Amino acid sequence: MISGNRELSQEIKATLPEAVQAVGGLYQEHSGSLRPPGMADLWRQQAVSFPSFTFKIFGLGLALQTAHTVNGNENYSARLVAEQHFGDLSSVEARHVLGTILLSRTSRYPGVVDRDALFTYEAELMKREVGLLRRQDFETLTFDKVVQAVLLGDLHLSRQS
C-alpha cells in the first residue's frame, strides 16, 4: 500500500482500516450537531486509540469544530457554499466532509471565513490531494477514502495557498 510516494509501515497498514471506520463514524455521528458537550473528549479518545494517527484525528475534530462555528457566525450556509465546490461527487458524505475541511482551511481563525481566501483555488488543491484527477474519479471517491486521505496526511487540514 503506497500513499503518495511513500511506503506505509506495517503498523499503519494494520490499523488504518479500523481507524478509518472509527474516526469516520465519529465524524458522521456529530457532523450535523452543534458541538455536543464532551465532543473534545470523544475526539481525544479516538486519538489515543490510534496513536499512529493522533495528530490527524485531532485535526479533523478541530476542522469539524471550526466548520460548526463558521456556520453559526455567518449569515448564509457557509457549508453549502463550500460543498458546491465538490458538487460533482457522487458521494454526498464525501462532499460533506470535503466542504467541512474547505471551511476550516479558509478560516482566518475559528468562526470567521477569510474573505481573501481563494475558495476555488483551495478546493482545486484539495481535489488533487484526494486524487480527483479524471472525470471518473468523481464517481469512485467515497467518504472512507477521504477520511483515509486525512489520516495518511495526503489531504491537508490547513490552508495550502
Residue 1 — pLDDT band, cuts 50, 70, 90? very low
Within-domain flag for 158? no
Amino acid identity at 70: V
Cell numbers given for 6: 511513500
DSSP helix/strand/coil, 9: coil
DSSP helix/strand/coil, 25: helix
User: What sections of the chain are H helices per DSSP?
Assistant: 10-30, 39-49, 54-73, 78-84, 92-105, 119-129, 137-140, 143-152
Phi-psi region of 36 (alpha: psi -120 to 50; beta: other; left: phi over 0): beta
Q: Which domain holds residue 108?
A: 8-152
Within-domain flag for 137? yes
Residue 149 — pLDDT band, cuts 50, 70, 90? very high
Choose between 144 and 115: higher pLDDT: 144
| Dihedral pair phi/psi, residue 79, rounded to 5° | -65, -40
Count of domains observed in the chain: 1
Nearest-5° Cα angle at 24, 73 to 10: 135
Within-domain flag for 38? yes
Share of the chain above pLDDT 70, in %: 87
Residue 89 — pLDDT band, cuts 50, 70, 90? very high
Strand partners, 109: 112
- How many other C-beta atoms are found inside a 10 Å radius of the C-beta of residue 137? 15
Position 24 scores a pLDDT of: 94
pLDDT digits (tens, 9 = 90+) for 37-48: 678 888 999 999
Rounded to an integer, what distance in angstroms lies between the CA atom of residue 55 and that of residue 36?
21
Within-domain flag for 157? no
Within-domain flag for 128? yes
Position 4 scores a pLDDT of: 58
Rounded to an integer, what distance in angstroms lies between the CA atom of residue 160 and that of residue 139?
25
Within-domain flag for 17? yes
Within-domain flag for 107? yes
Cell numbers given for 29: 455521528
Mean pLDDT over all residues of the chain?
Answer: 85
Within-domain flag for 88? yes
